Amino acid sequence: MDHLPEVIQELITKSNEAKNNAFCPYSNFRVGAALLTDDGTIIQGCNVENASYTLGICAERCAIFKAVSEGYRHFKAMAISTDVEKLYSTPCGACRQIMYEFGSDMDVYMTRPDLTYIKKTPRDILCYPFGPEELRMLKSGEVPKVDGDLNDNKMVDGTGDAKAHKKHKGDTAIPAQ
Amino acid sequence: MDHLPEVIQELITKSNEAKNNAFCPYSNFRVGAALLTDDGTIIQGCNVENASYTLGICAERCAIFKAVSEGYRHFKAMAISTDVEKLYSTPCGACRQIMYEFGSDMDVYMTRPDLTYIKKTPRDILCYPFGPEELRMLKSGEVPKVDGDLNDNKMVDGTGDAKAHKKHKGDTAIPAQ
Amino acid sequence: MDHLPEVIQELITKSNEAKNNAFCPYSNFRVGAALLTDDGTIIQGCNVENASYTLGICAERCAIFKAVSEGYRHFKAMAISTDVEKLYSTPCGACRQIMYEFGSDMDVYMTRPDLTYIKKTPRDILCYPFGPEELRMLKSGEVPKVDGDLNDNKMVDGTGDAKAHKKHKGDTAIPAQ
Amino acid sequence: MDHLPEVIQELITKSNEAKNNAFCPYSNFRVGAALLTDDGTIIQGCNVENASYTLGICAERCAIFKAVSEGYRHFKAMAISTDVEKLYSTPCGACRQIMYEFGSDMDVYMTRPDLTYIKKTPRDILCYPFGPEELRMLKSGEVPKVDGDLNDNKMVDGTGDAKAHKKHKGDTAIPAQ
């Protein structure tokens, strides 16, 4: 498996091991995650469910909250695993938001039990994000600097919807009724 | 304003009106949303914050939960508004997940106060989703039917990362240590 | 049924009706809630689940967020219903927190399908609360005014733990190591 | 401070240390928690906020999710700390619910910076709970065994509301309209 760095192979292996601690008596669906910090430490997380379903936590957020509580703020990569042969382990929207806060460009390995995977960044899977930078701009009233995503035509091009694009370019305003 | 159907113009206008009911004493950041149901009804939502920040709700989820509690299950479009001139109102990851559950292909208008907007679908902004169909497949062990996103190469093509693509195509397995 | 005001009888009936709109494909457990606003309006809520369990909402929070988005800020009473014969419908901790924000002294009717009930206030079931008043005091550094709960001995009496009580009364400080 | 076991003194000290890792750029309000597992290990947690306020986590839940991901399922005690001189650090409703799932009878030390505290159990501060046992009963249709709270008159006595009590005792049914 020389196509992946050893540390990433270990990350994926540890995300599978992490499933062993999953607390999922309500869904019986185990999820594991492993997070690679900027100093090379690997931190594992799993899903932790609650009798009031909405108060549980996913494996990805568990790993990140855990790492932050240990003082880490920047991450290089995350691996996610389930027991399902047929699908890659893609994170829910809430987990994408938490990943984005701490590592919009980290490599996220969404794996299958056979250890094949899809690799994306939080920025890829939370396109047109609302994150810390956006919130800062919202509060300061600034225009975005680096990332054009939030105010250029690429956003509309993104849909390949030429008509919407043309309209957007013209910035035609819709009058309040 | 004939470039948008009247109902969409009304939807955007009502998402702005919805901000008036926002309960945001902690962030002082008003958000409004308006949801178009399949029978043409428009339902408004706003952010509702809590002293325990994590227990509040965003405007988009507020509108959807409200509509579902009125018996609606399918939606055609949603508009989102804030008071910020410079940025389009993009939803957080949790709101994308809730939108996806009830209308993965609805038109989401992320607007600015000048009523210009970006139009996307939940599927566009929650790419490689984990949603009801995926959960059903996970539990049944089926392969995805319609949407190829979750098991063909487009997922890797998505990043335009040829190297990752090649590796993925080959489905090279990483052996457990 | 003259032992309860008609409006409360209607509230309890409507909390049972509200179950009909519950979206609970994951738990198959229907919950309904009905909220009485200070102008006598009754607003219904139900649980709305999500494929990512943690992102759903309970019936009680659904009803409150809905009411707030309609401009209501103060509530007189809430009724909660499930389909379970044997137990009263008690709210989860998150719902208690949301109730507390908008009506710490409203009457909460935790009912059974036979329409018998337990009546409590959010203050009763979220004792020693962390709420808006507490947060305001935290930020201002004030001492609590009205409610003694947060800094008098009743807190310790509450446990009937005489030893803890004595210690607390003396405010014996524990030295940092 | 020989009035408390050394391990509890250490627990309270570590809950204060845990604040140092708090990620709270949005509220600027640091919270720390320390959890004592049944094998004597102490696990620290802090609040971790997010640009989308509702997706952050409190210190208490952070510590518990972290411990569960390390394989712990039962806890003896938790200490909670903030920087506020005047108030005891009481948990929000969501945290009470998560505590209840894993240790309804553990000692929860709600402290002040001067290290004085209030001691309660999750059962004390989430009275008339909806927890795992209740959910099991709901699904099985059983009557509660051990804890009478959920179906005897003590629930109504709890408020000392004699009138409600009398009504409840009679189990007078409210007819559907």
With 70 as the cut, is the pLDDT of residue C177 above it?
no
Segments in chain A below pLDDT 50: 1, 143-177
User: CA D46 to CA A73: how far, in whole Å?
Assistant: 13
The angle at the Cα of D149, spanning C119 to C76, to the nearest 5 degrees, equals 15
Examine the predicted complex and report whether its ipTM is higher than 0.95: no
User: CA A64 to CA A74: how far, in whole Å?
Assistant: 10
- Give C142's pLDDT tier (boundaries 50, 70, 90): low
- Give B60's pLDDT tier (boundaries 50, 70, 90): very high
Q: What is the pLDDT of residue C175?
A: 33
How high is the mean pLDDT of chain D?
82
Selecting among D6, D10, D17, D60, the annotated active-site residue is D60
**pTM (predicted TM-score):** 0.83
Q: What is the pLDDT of residue D32?
A: 98
CB contact under 8 A, B51 and C21: no
Distances (CA, A) of C156 to D11, D105, D169: 20, 16, 30
Mutate: best of B30, B61, B69, partner C, most C CBs <10 A: B69
Selecting among C10, C60, C101, C142, the annotated active-site residue is C60
| D146 close contact with C: CB closer than 8 A | no
- Give C58's pLDDT tier (boundaries 50, 70, 90): very high
More confident residue, B76 or A130: B76
Residue C101 bears catalytic tag: no
| D21 close contact with A: CB closer than 8 A | yes
- Comparing B80-89, C46-55, C131-140, D15-24, the range with the smallest average pLDDT is C131-140
Complete DSSP assignment for D74-124: -EEEEEEEES-SSS--PPPHHHHHHHHHHHTTSEEEEE-TTS-EEEE-HHH
Question: Which sequence spans correspond to the domains of chain C?
Answer: 6-125, 132-157
- Give D142's pLDDT tier (boundaries 50, 70, 90): low
| B57: DSSP letter | B
Q: What is the pLDDT of residues B129-170, one digit of tens each?
A: 988 888 887 777 664 443 333 333 233 322 323 233 223 222
Question: Average pLDDT of C102-115?
Answer: 95
How high is the mean pLDDT of chain B?
82
Q: What is the pLDDT of residues D19-75, one digit of tens each?
A: 999 999 999 999 999 999 999 999 999 999 999 999 999 999 999 999 999 999 999
Q: What is the pLDDT of residue B155?
A: 32
Percent of chain D with pLDDT over 70: 77
Q: How far is A101 from chain D (nearest CA, A)?
A: 7
Q: Could you count the other beta carbons within 10 Å of the beta carbon of residue B120?
A: 26
With 50 as the cut, is the pLDDT of residue C35 above it?
yes
Q: What is the pLDDT of residue C2?
A: 59
Q: Report the CATH architecture of B6-125.
A: 3-Layer(aba) Sandwich (3.40)
Size of interface B-C (CB pairs under 8 A): 87
How far from each other are the two terminal CA atoms of chain C, in whole angstroms?
A: 62
CB contact under 8 A, C46 and B57: no
Q: What is the pLDDT of residue B68?
A: 98
Percent of chain B with pLDDT over 90: 68
| C1 close contact with D: CB closer than 8 A | yes
Residue B105 tokens read as: 């292909």
User: CA B170 to CA D159: how far, in whole Å?
Assistant: 67
Which residues in chain B touch residue D53, judged by CB atoms under 8 angstroms apart? 26-27, 49, 53-54, 56
Mutate: best of B60, B84, B119, partner A, most A CBs <10 A: B119
